[in-house]
Amino acid sequence: MRRRRTGLLLAASAGAALLVALGGRTLARHDPARIAAPPWSGPAPGMLLGADGLGRDVLSRVLAGGQELTLTALAAALIASALGVTGGLWVGWNRGRLSRAVAGAADLLLALPLLLLALLAVVALPGPAAVIVGTVLGGTPLTLRVVADATAEARYAGYVEAALSRGDRGGSVLVREVLPAHAGIVSADLAQRFVLSVQLAVALNVLGFGPAPPAPDWAAMLRENIPGLGLNPAAMITPALALAVLTGSVAALSYALTVRDGAS
């Protein structure tokens, strides 16, 4: 019961963080792109976190700065997880030459630096598309390996043997029996792919491949406000905390799902 309550609490925390990241713009008091005060001025009435280097309201920019990053990370995580789960089920169920070749290709991709792959992608693609490509190339092989190992272990489980003895086809058994049994693993892996995608997006945005100014973005705010850290620390600390809360809550949820699946 306590594990269940902990899981629900972590799920609620992650959901709240995602909701604020996606819909925080509606709570912003000022236009995130409008100059409202002297550059790097401290907290004042109506501006609880002061202003950034151009005099824009920090709180409004933080509330609006997570939307594009979070949407990109969610899209990348869903695509990478879907491809990895599909491939993992197939590789784990079929132990032929082709499935071994696919597993070997996944291992080869895992050996390549993820940031390097993303930097190569960003040369030809916009920042969000490069994040998706990088997450797919770096995250899909991890998901495939995890799901393939779990599927190979379940291949000779009693409930699978019972389904096959009833005359169910392999594809039907995978969808109706094996995949539901992997729900905890898949959910935890999806959360990890999201965290990976956020980290990749932050790295690219800090390097200057994110949204064009004056669009608010948590990672870009880190880069923009380094020179004023001594004047208004909130301009840099607040977006860093927002990123930490978002990824930390999702990562904690992933851990809880992994523990629950391992204990079940």
Q: State the Cα–Cα distance between residues 141 and 171, nearest whole angstrom.
A: 21
- pLDDT over 90, % of the chain: 36
Q: State the Cα–Cα distance between residues 19 and 54, nearest whole angstrom.
A: 28
Neighbours of 76 (CB within 10 A): 28
Identify the CA nearest to 222 among candidates 234, 247, 239. Answer: 239
Q: Convert the pLDDT of each residue in 11-57 to its tens digit.
A: 888 888 889 899 999 988 889 999 989 999 989 888 999 999 999 99
Query: What pLDDT, on a 0 to 100 scale, did the predictor assign at position 51?
Result: 93
Whether 40 contacts 231, CB under 8 Å: yes
pLDDT of 109 over the 90 cut: no
Q: State the Cα–Cα distance between residues 264 and 261, nearest whole angstrom.
A: 5
Residues 6+ apart with CB under 8 A from 136: 76, 79, 80, 83
Question: CA of 105: how far to CAs of 102, 144, 145, in Å?
Answer: 5, 11, 11
What is the DSSP-derived secondary structure letter of residue 42? -
Whether 135 contacts 200, CB under 8 Å: yes
Q: State the Cα–Cα distance between residues 136 and 121, nearest whole angstrom.
A: 11
| pTM given for the model | 0.87
Mark residue 40 as left, alpha or beta (left: phi above 0; alpha: psi -120 to 50; beta: remaining): left
Query: What pLDDT, on a 0 to 100 scale, did the predictor assign at position 258?
Result: 73
The values of phi and psi at residue 8, to 5°, are -65, -40
Q: For residue 63, what pLDDT band results from cuts at 50, 70 and 90?
A: very high
The tokens for 57 are 């309201």
Q: State the Cα–Cα distance between residues 49 and 236, nearest whole angstrom.
A: 10
Query: What pLDDT, on a 0 to 100 scale, did the predictor assign at position 208?
Result: 81
Average pLDDT, integer, range 88-112: 88
Q: For residue 263, what pLDDT band results from cuts at 50, 70 and 90?
A: very low
Q: How far is CA 112 from the centre of its chain?
A: 20
| Angle at the Cα of 127 from the Cα atoms of 215 and 29, rounded to 5 degrees | 20
Beta bridge partners of 85: none
Whether 57 contacts 47, CB under 8 Å: yes
Q: State the Cα–Cα distance between residues 135 and 77, nearest whole angstrom.
A: 7
Lowest-pLDDT range, 29-33, 74-78, 101-105, 117-121? Answer: 117-121
